[in-house]
C-alpha cells in the first residue's frame, strides 16, 4: 500500500476554511426512528420510481415500496415497518421549493424486517450482471451528492476497459463531514465495497483520493486495508483545495488524465465512486440489505449539538435538527447541503433523501444575506478560479440574454456548479443561479422537442397507417371489380346449346308469321 504516488493539480479552485471540526467532535450517532417517514419517488437522477404499494397497506422494513421504471432509475424500500397512509405530493428538498410525489409511512414501532434476498459472500462466483442486479435492487445511487443510479454507472459493457477505480473520499466542501465519519466508523465496509466494485468492473488499480485534513479517516482506512490483505489499494492524500472532490478534478489530481468536454470518465478508462456508495454496495451484496439509511451531517452555529447522524431515509429535516439539539437563537438559514453547492430550504419539514449529505443551520455570519447584484466589471477573477476552465462571464451574459445556443457553445454543461466563481465575484452576481437557470431551460426545451418529435412521429405513423389501409381498400375493390368483370365477360360468351334453342325459336316464329301472311283458300 503506497501513499507516495505522484499527484497532479487542477486549474483554479479555492483554499477555504473547512469548518469541519464543528461536527467531528462527537462520535457518530444513530437517529431514533421517527413516527412518520416521507419517501419522495424522485431521489435520484433519471426517471422517478413508481409506487408498488397502496394506501392502507402494511409494509415491513426493507420491503420494496416503489419500482425503478427505466435503466436510469432506482427503486425505494421502506426504512421501517408500518402502514402506508398517503401517496401524494409533499414538499421535497429542491431549489424550486415545489412539491413532488411521495409515499408516507406511519411507523408501527416494531421495526420488523421483510424477507430479504440471500447475502452473496461468494460474490466472486457470481457474474457481473448478477451483482449489478443486486445493486440495482438495493436502490443504491451515488451518495456523494449526484445521486446517479449506481447499477447504471458500473455497467461498463461496450465501453473501453476500466484501468482505474477511483474512490472519492475527498469531501472537499466546507462543513460537510458525513464521509469523514463513515471512514472513521466503517472503514472495513468501505474496503469490502471497493473489493466488490473492483471485481465487478475488473479494474487494474484502485486509488482512494482523500484530502489531507482527515488524518483520523486516513489512519482508519489504512488499518482496514491492511486487515483485508488488499495491499494494492492505494490511498492518495491530496491538498485541501476546493473542489478537489469534483469527479473530473479528482481524476486529474490522481491520474493526470483530463476527461474530455461532454465526456464521461470511462472515456479515459476511469470509474469514480464515493466512499459511502462503496459501503452501501457492501451492505447490498454481503448482507442483502437495501439502501434505507445514510449518514447526514447536521452543523452550523444555528444548531445546538452539531454532529453526524445515521438517519432513516424519509426523516423530516426539522425532526433531525431537533435531535441535534434544536435551533439556536443564531440560526439564520437552513441549507440543504454545504455553503457552496447547497440551497436554502423554504420548509424544514422536507425529508432526508438519498442525496442529502448535510443540513447546515447557518448563522448570519456563515450565510450572510445576499448583497445587491451590481454590473460585471470584467475583472476576470471568476475565470481564474473556475476548475473547469470555463469563461464564466460569457456564460453569464448569454444565460441572462436567454441565448441558449450560444451558452452551450461555451460548454455550459461542463460547469459543475461548484460556486467558486460566485464566491470571488466582487459584483456579487449569483453566477451559478444563472447557469442553473440556463441548464433548466435547455433541458425543458429538449423535453419539449422530444415530445414534439414523438408527436410528429406518431402523426406520421398514423398517416402512413391510414394511407396503407386506403391502398389496401382500393386494392380489394379493384380485385372485386376485376372479378365481377371477368364473370360478366364469361357469361356473355356464345353457348352452343342456347344458340341452337334460340335458332329453333326464331325459325318457329318465322314459320308462324309466314302462315299468317299466306292468303286463305276461301279467298
Q: What is the pLDDT of residues 167-213, one digit of tens each?
A: 999 999 999 999 999 999 999 999 999 999 999 999 999 999 999 99
Q: Which three cell numbers stand for residue 167?
A: 474512490
Q: Which 8-state DSSP code applies to residue 246? A: S
Structural element, H or E, at residue 29: strand 29-30
Q: Is the four-CA dihedral 64, 357, 351, 152 of positive or negative sign?
A: negative
CA-to-CA dists, residue 379 to 49, 372, 395, 500, 505, angstroms: 46, 18, 15, 116, 119
Is it the case that residue 509 has pLDDT exceeding 60?
yes
CA distance 391 to 359: 31
Whole-angstrom CA distances from 373 to 54, 188, 236, 379, 490 are: 49, 48, 41, 15, 94
How much is the pTM? 0.85
What is the pLDDT, as a whole number, of residue 138?
98
pLDDT digits (tens, 9 = 90+) for 41-73: 999 999 999 999 999 999 999 999 999 999 999
Sequence spans of domains, the chain: 21-336, 374-468
To the question of domain 21-336 being in CATH 3.40.50.11540, the answer is yes
C-alpha cell at 80: 421501517
Q: DSSP 3-state assignment of 326?
A: coil
For the chain, percent of residues with pLDDT exceeding 70: 96
Nearest Cα to Cα of residue 153 among 46, 290, 65:
46
Q: How confident is the model at residue 263 (pLDDT cuts 50, 70, 90)?
A: confident
Contact 254, 207 (CB under 8 A): yes
DSSP string covering 248-281, please? HHHHHHHH-PPPPTT--GGGGTEEEEEHHHHHHH
User: Rounded to the nearest 10 degrees, how much is the dihedral formed by the CA atoms of 188, 189, 192, 193?
Assistant: -140
Q: What is the mean pLDDT of residues 357-378?
A: 94
What pLDDT score was predicted for residue 329? 96
Report pLDDT for 523.
44
More confident residue, 123 or 500: 123
Which residues lie below 8 Å from residue 101, measured CB to CB, with a gap of 6+? 40, 41, 42, 48, 87, 88, 89
Q: Convert the pLDDT of each residue in 510-523 to its tens digit.
A: 888 777 776 554 44
- What does the alpha-carbon distance between residue 186 and residue 184 come to, in Å, rounded to a whole number? 6
All residues at 6 or more sequence positions from 278 whose CB lies less than 8 Å from its CB, including other chains:
167, 189, 190, 193, 194, 197
pLDDT at residue 481, rounded to an integer: 85
Give the residue-averaged pLDDT of 79-89.
97
Rounded Cα distance, 381 and 373, in Å: 16
pLDDT value at residue 193: 97
Question: Quick one: cell of 237?
Answer: 492524500
Residue 427 has pLDDT above 90, yes or no: yes
Stretch (H or E) spanning 196: helix 187-201
Longest dimension (CA), the chain: 155
* pLDDT band of 370, cuts 50, 70, 90: confident
**pLDDT over threshold 60, residue 2:** no
pLDDT band at residue 480, thresholds of 50, 70 and 90? Answer: confident
pLDDT above 60: residue 494:
no
Amino acid at each position: 500500500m503506497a501513499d507516495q504516488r505522484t499527484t497532479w493539480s487542477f486549474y483554479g479552485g479555492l483554499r477555504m476554511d473547512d469548518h469541519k471540526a464543528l461536527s467531528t467532535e462527537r462520535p457518530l450517532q444513530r437517529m431514533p426512528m421517527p413516527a412518520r417517514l416521507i419517501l419522495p419517488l424522485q431521489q435520484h437522477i433519471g426517471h422517478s420510481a413508481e409506487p408498488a404499494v397502496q394506501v392502507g397497506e402494511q409494509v415491513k422494513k426493507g420491503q420494496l415500496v416503489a419500482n425503478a421504471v427505466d435503466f436510469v432509475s432506482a427503486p425505494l424500500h421502506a426504512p421501517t415497518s408500518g402502514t402506508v397512509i398517503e401517496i401524494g405530493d409533499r414538499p421535497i428538498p429542491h431549489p424550486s421549493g415545489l412539491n413532488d410525489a411521495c409515499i408516507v409511512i406511519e411507523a408501527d414501532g416494531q421495526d420488523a424486517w421483510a424477507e430479504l434476498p440471500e447475502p452473496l459472500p461468494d460474490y466472486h462466483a457470481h457474474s457481473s450482471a448478477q451483482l449489478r442486479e443486486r445493486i440495482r435492487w438495493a436502490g443504491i445511487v451515488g451518495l456523494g451528492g449526484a445521486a446517479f443510479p449506481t447499477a447504471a454507472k458500473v455497467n461498463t459493457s461496450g465501453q473501453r476497459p476500466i484501468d482505474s477505480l477511483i474512490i472519492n473520499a475527498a469531501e472537499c466542501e466546507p462543513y460537510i463531514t458525513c464521509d469523514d465519519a463513515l471512514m472513521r466508523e466503517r472503514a472495513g465496509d468501505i474496503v469490502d465495497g471497493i473489493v466488490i466494485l473492483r471485481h465487478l468492473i475488473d479494474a487494474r488499480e484502485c486509488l482512494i483520493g482523500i484530502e489531507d485534513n482527515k488524518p483520523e479517516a486516513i489512519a482508519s482506512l489504512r488499518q482496514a486495508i491492511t486487515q483485508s490483505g488488499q495491499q494494492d489499494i492505494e490511498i492518495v492524500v491530496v491538498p485541501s483545495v476546493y473542489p478537489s472532490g469534483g469527479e473530473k478534478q479528482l481524476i486529474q489530481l490522481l491520474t493526470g488524465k483530463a476527461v474530455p468536454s461532454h465526456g464521461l470518465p470511462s472515456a479515459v478508462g476511469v470509474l469514480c465512486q464515493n466512499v459511502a456508495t462503496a459501503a452501501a454496495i457492501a451492505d447490498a451484496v454481503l448482507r442483502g440489505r437495501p439502501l434505507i439509511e445514510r449518514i447526514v451531517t447536521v452543523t452550523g452555529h444555528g444548531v445546538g449539538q452539531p454532529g453526524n447522524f445515521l438517519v432513516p431515509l424519509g426523516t423530516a429535516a426539522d425532526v433531525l435538527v431537533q435531535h441535534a439539539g434544536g435551533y439556536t437563537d443564531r440560526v439564520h438559514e437552513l441549507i440543504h447541503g454545504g455553503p457552496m453547492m447547497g440551497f436554502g430550504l423554504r420548509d424544514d419539514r422536507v425529508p432526508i433523501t438519498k442525496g442529502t449529505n448535510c443540513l447546515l443551520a447557518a448563522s448570519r455570519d456563515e450565510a450572510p444575506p445576499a448583497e445587491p447584484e451590481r454590473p460585471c466589471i470584467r475583472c476576470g477573477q471568476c475565470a481564474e478560479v473556475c476548475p473547469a476552465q470555463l469563461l464564466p462571464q460569457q456564460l453569464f451574459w448569454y444565460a441572462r440574454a436567454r441565448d441558449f445556443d450560444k451558452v452551450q457553445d461555451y460548454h455550459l454543461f461542463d460547469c459543475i456548479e461548484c460556486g467558486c466563481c460566485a464566491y470571488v465575484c466582487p459584483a456579487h452576481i449569483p453566477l451559478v443561479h444563472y447557469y442553473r437557470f440556463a441548464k433548466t431551460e435547455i433541458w425543458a426545451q429538449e423535453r419539449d422537442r422530444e415530445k414534439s418529435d414523438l408527436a410528429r412521429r406518431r402523426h406520421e405513423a398514423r398517416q402512413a397507417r391510414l394511407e396503407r389501409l386506403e391502398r389496401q381498400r382500393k386494392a380489394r375493390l379493384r380485385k372485386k371489380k376485376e372479378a365481377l368483370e371477368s364473370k360478366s365477360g364469361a357469361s356473355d360468351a356464345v353457348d352452343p346449346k342456347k344458340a341452337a334453342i334460340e335458332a329453333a325459336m326464331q325459325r318457329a316464329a318465322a314459320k308462324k308469321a309466314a302462315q299468317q301472311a299466306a292468303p286463305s283458300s276461301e279467298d
